[in-house]
Amino acid sequence: MSNRKLKLQELNRLSADEFKKSEKTPIIIVLDNIRSLNNVGSVFRSADAFRIEKIYLCGITAQPPHREIHKTAIGATETVEWEYAEDVLSVVESLKDEYITLAIEQAKDSIMLNDYNINSSKKYAIVMGNEVEGVKQEVVDAVDNVIEVPQIGTKHSLNISVCTGVVLWEFFKNL
């Protein structure tokens, strides 16, 4: 058995142009008031990895081009479609006709991610909240469901970029 690491050219990745023309995973990420530019960049990188449709950057969430976003996105801001919108609630409402809207949050009656029934014939819009405050209550009230990532440690939450990666993987493998 040979566990030789693959060289970059052996990975057969899409070019940026091929990525833009390719079929996307039917997921939109909505970032609401994300303070850390490194978190924004990391979400772009995960969005590229799972070839998601689009990212909405809402409120105070920084927009590319920015040096700190680029550091962690490593070019993903050039491949993943994105749009800025001031008001996250307006974005969520505009997506409801075509997408199942989900907030990733700890809430009463939330559904654990591993228990959520992901329907491969549906499209999803996933709202990720601020690093301190989480998803706004008005958005939690507006979405179709609230999903929680199960945790058993002492901390109350995962970093938003890590949490986004976990959620995207769970959806990607089931779509």
Per-residue pLDDT of the chain (175 residues), as tens digits, is: 789 999 988 999 999 999 999 999 999 999 999 999 999 999 999 999 999 999 999 999 999 999 999 999 999 999 999 999 999 999 999 999 999 999 999 999 999 999 999 999 999 999 999 999 999 999 999 999 999 999 999 998 999 999 999 999 999 999 9
Looking at the structure of the chain, the number of domains it has is: 1
Q: Quick check: 31 and 61 in contact, CB under 8 A?
A: yes
Q: Is residue 127 in some structural domain?
A: yes
* CATH classification of the domain holding 142: 3.40.1280.10
The closest of 34, 45, 104 to 76, measured between CA atoms, is 45
pLDDT for 2: 82
**pLDDT value for 1:** 72
Q: Is residue 7 part of a domain?
A: no
- Residue 53 in any domain: the answer is yes
Measured in degrees and rounded to the nearest 5, phi and psi for residue 96 equal: -60, -25
Instruction: Assess contact for 52 and 168: CB atoms under 8 A.
Output: yes
Identify whether 13 is part of a domain. Answer: no
Q: What is the 3-state secondary structure (H, E, C) of the chain?
A: CCCCCCCHHHHCCCCHHHHHHCCCEEEEEEEECCCCHHHHHHHHHHHHHCCEEEEEEECCCCCCCCHHHHHHHCCHHHCCCEEEECCHHHHHHHHCCCCEEEEECCCCCCEEHHHCCCCCCCCEEEEECECCCECCHHHHHHCCEEEECCCCCCCCCCCHHHHHHHHHHHHHHHC
Residue pair 7/130 in contact (Cβ under 8 Å)? The answer is no
Q: What pLDDT does residue 164 have?
A: 98
Q: Residue 83 is part of which domain span? A: 23-174
* Structure tokens, 171: 């959806």
Q: Is the pTM of this model over 0.85?
A: yes
* Residues 126/165, Cβ–Cβ less than 8 Å: no
Select from 20, 89, 76, 77 the least CA-distant residue to 53: 20
| Residue 17, domain member (yes or no) | no
Please give the span between the terminal C-alpha atoms of the chain, in angstroms, as a whole number.
32
